[in-house]
Structure 1
Amino acid sequence: MAVTPNDPQYADCVRGLNTRYIGTPESVRIVNCTDQVVQVVQEAVTYKKRLTVISSGHCYEDFIFNPDVKVVVDMTMMNNVYYDPAMNAVAIESGATMLEIYKTLYKQWGVTVPAGFCYSVAAGGHVAGGGWGPLVRVNGLVVDHLYAVEVVVVDANGTARAVVATREANDPNRDLWWAHTGGGGGNFGVITRYWFKTPGATGSDPRTMLPRPPHDVLISAIAYNWSSLTQDQFTRLARNYASWHVANRGADNPNRVVTSYLLLNHQSNGQIGLITQVDATVPNAHTILDTYIAYMQNGVTATHVPLTNRMAEISPMPELVQARQLPWLEATRMLGTTNPPLNDPTYRAEYKSTFMRGNFPDNQIAAVYRHLTSTAISNPLAGVQFTPYGGQASVVDPAATAIPHRGAAFKMLWSAQWIDPAEDTKHIDWMRRGYADTYADTGGVPVPNDVTDGCYVNYPDGDLSDPNFNKSGTPWYTLYYKGNYARLLQAKRRWDPLNFFHHRQSIGTT
């Protein structure tokens, strides 16, 4: 179905999560099956119309909605999750959102995929970019369980067709599968569905094909009031998080059952948050949680208090100042859906990212503190989130999948959200200055070294390809892909030789 500017639903079809980017395409094509996608792509190729794809609208940049785009393929109606006996794997269409996926997999078969935190992110772009999630330390990345992908591609003759690529060693299309294990969305074609089956899984029972999540989890939510934190204590808190994750990033480390988020909000928020989840079914789960929180408290004289302020992707949770045990699916639903910005159509935003291998040098953490206490803005929804990595994610060879940051201990999401378009420059400049200041010794970006390890392609940042902001001499594609870029370039040349699928930070053909 084509939705055009004359249709009443058009305005709802040309915007995503970040309302800085609202599109004006000639049409949005709502598709229901792969054959329809092939038809739409072929039409766009024939008439030389720029085409992009949306699965849930969570792209942080203007890669989907910008003035050059004439046709948008909307995948939201392709959202089925089912067992496919022909492939002997669990199929997930690219429009299926995380909460839909988790509910279907768990309620039907008691399994899951270690995918994202936010309930409304869809599989399409999330999986293609590597797919980090809160079970990363126990089960790895979602792409570590990816068996196959179906992609509508365009060949050198301008012919659109659907191709299925698997991880099987003898599959002649295997490079297309590999490119979708972290190569990012919008590069090779339109992803219509994925199939998942954990390597080594045998038989034809979906209940044994994918990881089983914890039956129950312990959830703790505490906060520190900014008014009680000195710079030294702020620094200690951040370094405690970093040192714990560096020390406990091994695949067999018993503390891999800990998932923790440190939310370093701008001081105008009033609080800094620490959200922690522990598998409640492991022996001594309460002790593991208590020991972790004690480690975080080491050297911090400020007393932690209930988390009463909304911060980043977390709503107030004062009831969790004492840890509570909840069923896994309920805890996942609660943490993933209590996020006002994901349900508010007025928010504008800017984002940046960092993978961390080591602890913070003095100048980096001092710069973070300086910008979180800056009076240039007053924005409770601005800050830096620390999220866990390592564990089972570190088992996989960096070249085995397209996402290469297997040695990272944790990652950072720099974010700011606001409502008034007149404040765009203020908040974007604040973000750019803070990021550049933090990585001043490496040209304003987190180049791969012993401390930092580049950037996460699922948190795309157009500034990385702008020499005004990236002065490191390290190209954007190295920050995202490191040594895997050459292989991604080969896949691009084979599967999209006309460079039909592109955006302003896509993999090229030269």
Structure 2
Amino acid sequence: MAGAAVISGVATTGTATAAGPAAGAAPAARPASAVAVTPADKRYPDLVRGWNQRWVGAPDAVYVVETTEQVAQVVQLAVDRGKRITVRGGGHCWEDFVFNADVEVIVDMSEMATVGYDPRMHAFSVEAGARLLDVYERLYRPWGVTIPAGTCYSVGVGGHVSGGGWGMLLRKHGLVVDHLYAVEVVVVDASGKVRTVVATREQNDPNRDLWWAHTGGGGGNFGIVTRYWFRSPGAPGRTPESLLPKPPAEVLISAAAWAWKDLTEADFVRLVKNFADWHVAHSEPDDPNSAICSLLSLNHRSNGAVNIVTQVDASVRRAEKLHADFMAAVTRGVGVRTGPAVTPIGEFKPMPEFAEPRRLPWMQATQYIGTANATTNNPTLKGDFKSAYMRASFPARHIKKLYKHLSREDLGNPTASLMLSSHGGRSNAVPATATAYAHRDSAFKMAWMIWWTDPADEAPSVRWIREFYEDLYVETGGVPVPDAVTDGCYVNYPDVDLSDPRHNKSSVPWHELYYKGNYPRLQQIKKAYDPRNVFRHRQSIQLPS
């Protein structure tokens, strides 16, 4: 086929420290060499872009890999030829870390998607190209277990896990990295030789630091992850069914809305403060309300409504009352009728069918919410995004600024929104240094988002999100510095403005916003496993000076 080639004969000097793929999980035969898709190939345009159409690459080739050995071959080839290399998993990177003008070789992990039980590791093996919904289905149907990872069905495991992995079960079961037992990584040593390392959380593992780096240290920093193994700490029993959390058999799902035309500023302030106050009051690891996870979508006025989506573990005692009490707390003192969610809910589609809470089997609910993301299948959308963690409720001045920017009349983009998402619960049970994910005392997190299709809309869209963010945090230099109220930013929602002094006027560098006090250790791990800085992007871990 024109434009396609295979690479072979590239020696790799290292071998994995665990024997092969998961038993019974790998396909019967995989090709010995990766396929190189070059610009002459008709597949090329599909492989040089991801979910955010703002970023399109022009590499020499995209290498579609199916085995760890192929990944090692491609990396060795790139290193030997001095080629800049990046990795595509699910394609959901919010910035241009994968697709940019400097990249010459892209490793496409999409065909490495096997999920299964590995008896040699006594853990579940998940290849890094697997997408979240596939992982949920392949763990749940045979074994009845899951990992508490994200909502969007098409997010790739590779980057999601390495950044910490927020999900709707985190208040009940913690973050996905709290169940990470081991990671397989293709790395490059100081001499330029490629090797494959398996690192576990075992205290006597000489590569344990590399495991730790992948519990929140971000993607694209240390090497190429080819496989994760999951087993909960202290998991009882010896059967696969006992090794990971069991999701609830059923969940309650509801979606509600408040029309912007009816919201006064006082109503808006009360609604937002109620949501924040509830999460601050119920953020402890063993709070009974950890069965609840909720998303409050503060959409721009042009959307027509402010929405909320709530999921409750329906297996807990009096689940319906937990839900009712939560909604009563959120709406207390709000003088606007609560109605169905008939407008988009941030990145999700309208959900009027959940105006009253409905019981659904957990897998059906997970499939529904995962595929209800209207942005994932729209190939025309470009976007910009920001994030923050909240330790405490909003100061009054913050909520006034939320209202100001969400009701601005110089913007008519209904996709503009700020999503407040539950945090806390079991995710706060782990010390901040036990994993690389440092935000272990937050009550909720926030994600700003805006999309556009017309190139003429890019400048006003980016201007709005920057002005909103920088005005909200004007007292701390335009960013949410870790303090008594805010707690930095989520590395899986990368934002290059954090490292730009025009937008971050604080004395707090971007890496402290993402990693806080864990950054120096991450730098030392970078030096140990990627001393040549082969794996890098605009906000990658820097080698220690």
TM range (shorter): over 0.9
Aligned to 1:30: 64
Aligned to 1:442: 476
Displacement of 1:271: 0.6
Displacement of 1:401: 0.2
- SS, match of residue 225 in structure 2: strand
Determine whether 1:66 maps to 2:100. Answer: yes
Structure-1 separation of matches of 2:399 and 2:508: 22
Aligned to 2:308: 274
Determine whether 1:244 maps to 2:297. Answer: no
Aligned to 2:445: 411
Normalised by the length of structure 1, the TM-score is 0.99
- SS, match of residue 260 in structure 1: strand
Farther-moved stretch of structure 1 (136-145 vs 337-346): 337-346
State the AA in 1 paired with 2:326.
Answer: Y
State the AA in 1 paired with 2:144.
Answer: G
Determine whether 1:504 maps to 2:538. Answer: yes
Aligned to 2:86: 52
Structure-1 separation of matches of 2:341 and 2:122: 45
Pick aligned residue for 1:139 from 139, 154, 173 = 173
Aligned to 2:9: none
Structure-2 separation of matches of 1:404 and 1:56: 24
The C-alpha deviation readout for 1:56-97, integer Å capped at 9, x for no partner, is: 100000000001000000000000100011111000001101
Structure-1 separation of matches of 2:476 and 2:266: 24
- SS, match of residue 451 in structure 2: strand
Residue correspondence of structure 1 range 101-500 to structure 2 within 5 A? 101-500=135-534
The C-alpha deviation readout for 1:478-505, integer Å capped at 9, x for no partner, is: 0000000010011000000000100011
Structure-1 separation of matches of 2:331 and 2:345: 20
Structure-2 separation of matches of 1:365 and 1:467: 26
Pick aligned residue for 1:98 from 124, 132, 146 = 132
Structure-2 separation of matches of 1:319 and 1:254: 28
Contact 2:149 2:167 in 1 (8 A): yes
Contact 1:348 1:421 in 2 (8 A): no
- SS, match of residue 343 in structure 1: coil
Contact 1:442 1:472 in 2 (8 A): yes
- SS, match of residue 375 in structure 2: helix
Farther-moved stretch of structure 1 (314-323 vs 446-455): 314-323
Normalised by the length of structure 2, the TM-score is 0.93
Structure-1 separation of matches of 2:227 and 2:346: 30
Contact 1:311 1:380 in 2 (8 A): no
Structure-1 separation of matches of 2:151 and 2:286: 23
Contact 1:226 1:271 in 2 (8 A): yes
Alpha-carbon RMSD: 0.7
Displacement of 1:311: 2.5
Q: Unpaired segments of 5 or more residues in structure 1?
A: none
Q: Unpaired segments of 5 or more residues in structure 2?
A: 1-34
Displacement of 1:202: 4.0
Contact 2:308 2:345 in 1 (8 A): no
Displacement of 1:290: 0.5
Question: Percent identity over the alignment?
Answer: 55
State the AA in 2 paired with 1:395.
Answer: A
Number of positions where the alignment pairs a residue of Structure 1 with one of Structure 2 = 510
Displacement of 1:473: 0.7
The C-alpha deviation readout for 1:288-333, integer Å capped at 9, x for no partner, is: 1011001111010101101111222221111111111000000011
Contact 2:180 2:228 in 1 (8 A): yes
State the AA in 2 paired with 1:323.
Answer: P
Displacement of 1:376: 2.1
Displacement of 1:204: 3.3
Structure-2 separation of matches of 1:227 and 1:242: 23
Displacement of 1:338: 1.3
- SS, match of residue 342 in structure 1: coil
Aligned to 2:4: none
Farther-moved stretch of structure 1 (94-103 vs 374-383): 374-383
Contact 2:76 2:193 in 1 (8 A): yes
Structure-1 separation of matches of 2:380 and 2:328: 39
Structure-2 separation of matches of 1:429 and 1:209: 47
- SS, match of residue 342 in structure 2: coil
Contact 2:257 2:341 in 1 (8 A): yes
Structure-2 separation of matches of 1:338 and 1:261: 14
Farther-moved stretch of structure 1 (353-362 vs 196-205): 196-205
Structure-2 separation of matches of 1:256 and 1:339: 24
Contact 2:117 2:124 in 1 (8 A): yes
Structure-1 separation of matches of 2:466 and 2:215: 29
Structure-2 separation of matches of 1:362 and 1:317: 31
Structure-1 separation of matches of 2:217 and 2:166: 13
- SS, match of residue 37 in structure 1: helix
Structure-2 separation of matches of 1:203 and 1:234: 50
Structure-1 separation of matches of 2:339 and 2:539: 42
Contact 1:214 1:328 in 2 (8 A): yes
The C-alpha deviation readout for 1:401-445, integer Å capped at 9, x for no partner, is: 001000000000000011112211110010000000000010000
- SS, match of residue 411 in structure 1: strand
Structure-1 separation of matches of 2:143 and 2:333: 45
Contact 1:216 1:279 in 2 (8 A): yes
Farther-moved stretch of structure 1 (486-495 vs 420-429): 420-429
Structure-2 separation of matches of 1:258 and 1:465: 35
Contact 1:119 1:333 in 2 (8 A): yes
